[in-house]
Structure 1
Amino acid sequence: MSAVEIVGRGFLARHLSALAGAHEDVTVLAAGVSSTAVASPDALAREAALVRDTARRCGAEGRTLVFLSTASQALYGTCDTPAGEESAAPVTPYGRHKLDLERRLAQDLADSDASWLVLRLSHVVGSHQRPHQLLPALVAQIASGEVRVFAGAHRDLVDVADVVACLDALLASGTRREVLNVAAGTPYAVEDIVRGVERQLGRTARWDVVDAGDRGGRTTVRVDRLRHHVGDHAPAGGPAYLERLLVRYTASYRPAALV
């Protein structure tokens, strides 16, 4: 028996490393393409090879492979009626790529002693994110005095601490061979997110409001299946959840000049 293995060295891998000693014979694939904007065939092919090779190794060693997919608009499209896990309808190369990897993974491990678990994550927020990601980018722009706001765009934000807690609870309960949305279940208007960051920084920026274009739309995903498995570990969603996220993490990216 061996403990949780985390494949990757980025933001999610850093937080998921808290589970390293908690569960046996589990590999969490926290590497590969994470931006919904990526459409490069080379980048997608590299991730596909990584998933294939990791699945082959897990199959040979009898390990459970946890694959981190997406619960974003790229996979579900624009939908006001909450979309369940069975409702995937990819609208971008990234969304089609992630769904294809989910299906290949299940097929590759179907007849082995290994197992799998797919977590479809919405837009994860936490400390140690890269500058281009949503929260650090907004903090930097607002601190500079001007922020670009994509009118009508929405993002379902989920606390990285909740992602870790949900995975911990799922593994502990023996949940396997399932696809689960891990999200707040609330699509937050980008305008509301920007106002929240402004409140936390105590600073009002000039808004450069632009048409959201393909960044727009509103995607609502169902999280009842997740709540069935993990109960109170599931993200709460709603306005208060957004406020707690921003209170918790905005300071992580506050420039020294504003402290």
Structure 2
Amino acid sequence: MEIIGRGFIARNLEPLAAAHPDALILAAGVSSTVGTSVVEFRREAELLESVLEKVTADGRRLVFFSTASSGVYGAPGCGGREDEPVAPSTPYAAHKLGLEETVRQSGADYLILRLSHLVGEHQRGHQLIPALVEQIRAGVVQVRSGASRDLLDVADMVRILDVLLATGVSGQVLNVASGYPVPIEAILDHLELALGVRATHEVTESTPGNGYVSTERLAQLVPSIAELGFDADYYRRVIDARMLAGLVERAAR
């Protein structure tokens, strides 16, 4: 496969570089769910247009990474399904959903993956877990009351993508997540336990949403996700494994 990008996801996909020669992976662009930069959004849109021209010309399948963040699925009552209408609540979500439409209308062979919050090696400091670790170390954490996040080990995402490409899945918008939303307070408690540090929590009231990301379609296409251990305690195992390896700590420095 050809991998475009040099960041967190691209580096974790390197073990698959020699596989799936008919795929081009676009792993570059805006990576912060709180991003609002019009310049960065435009740059990613222009990159996508050039990549779509490339895969349309040579017949390869484009894998485009979108978002399953609360900006897409965080509204109260949202079912977290790929086939239901969604109203983006953040500029980042609106941007990614707009790029999804560009891909769908392009005529190219494609696979769009809406990713939940990935955790793992090479992660950038602004992403969820490294950012929380940094705040905990500093002694004060900003908490949005009622917020939930679905954590997914990046290694599990790579395994899932490998299966999807090996089985020829295309023309799909697909959630890739654990399917278990975790209250942000629970994530913080476990991070603090792992770090041996207690921080002050400054709570901001927000409209609660269930943060649920449906994995029903994913389970149908990749039955082997049953082997990945997705359950209510999965997030604890992900945090523990990454803390044990020192990966989250290094990312946050």
Moved more, 224-233 or 83-92: 83-92
Aligned residues: CA RMSD = 1.9
* C-alpha distance after superposition, 1:180-203 (max 9, x if no partner): 0001111111110111112222x1
Which of the residues 203, 208, 213 maps onto 2:201? Answer: 208
Distance 2:205 2:9 in 1: 27
Counterpart secondary structure, 1:219: coil
* C-alpha distance after superposition, 1:137-173 (max 9, x if no partner): 2223333444333332211111101110111000000
Normalised by the size of structure 2, how large is the TM-score? 0.90
1:161 match: 155
Q: Is the Cα–Cα contact under 8 Å of residues 120 and 248 in structure 2 kept in the other structure?
A: no
Q: Is the Cα–Cα contact under 8 Å of residues 146 and 206 in structure 2 kept in the other structure?
A: no
2:81 match: 84
Q: Is the Cα–Cα contact under 8 Å of residues 32 and 126 in structure 2 kept in the other structure?
A: no
Q: How many residues align?
A: 246
Residue 225 (1) aligns with residue 220 (2): no
Moved more, 149-158 or 40-49: 149-158
Shift in CA distance, 173/249, structure 1 to aligned 2, threshold 3 Å: same
Give the number of the structure with larger relative contact order, counting CA–CA contacts within 8 Å between residues 6 or more apart.
2
Q: Is the Cα–Cα contact under 8 Å of residues 143 and 184 in structure 2 kept in the other structure?
A: yes
1:13 match: 10
Moved more, 229-238 or 42-51: 229-238
Q: Is the Cα–Cα contact under 8 Å of residues 123 and 248 in structure 2 kept in the other structure?
A: no
Q: Is the Cα–Cα contact under 8 Å of residues 6 and 13 in structure 1 kept in the other structure?
A: yes
Percent identical pairs in the alignment equals: 45
Q: Is the Cα–Cα contact under 8 Å of residues 124 and 130 in structure 2 kept in the other structure?
A: yes
- Counterpart residue type for residue 183 of structure 2: A
Counterpart secondary structure, 1:166: helix
1:43 match: 40
Q: Is the Cα–Cα contact under 8 Å of residues 73 and 79 in structure 2 kept in the other structure?
A: no
Which of the residues 62, 65, 69 maps onto 1:65? Answer: 62
Shift in CA distance, 144/91, structure 1 to aligned 2, threshold 3 Å: closer
Distance 1:68 1:213 in 2: 27
Aligned pairs (5 A) from 1:1-259 = 4-87=1-84, 88-109=86-107, 114-201=108-195, 203-213=196-206, 217-233=209-225, 236-250=229-243, 251-254=246-249
Shift in CA distance, 239/19, structure 1 to aligned 2, threshold 3 Å: same
Q: Is the Cα–Cα contact under 8 Å of residues 147 and 205 in structure 1 kept in the other structure?
A: no
Structure 1 unmatched runs, 5+:
none
Distance 1:35 1:140 in 2: 16
Q: Is the Cα–Cα contact under 8 Å of residues 77 and 89 in structure 1 kept in the other structure?
A: no
Counterpart secondary structure, 2:31: coil
Structure 2 unmatched runs, 5+:
none
Distance 2:16 2:194 in 1: 31
Distance 2:12 2:247 in 1: 15
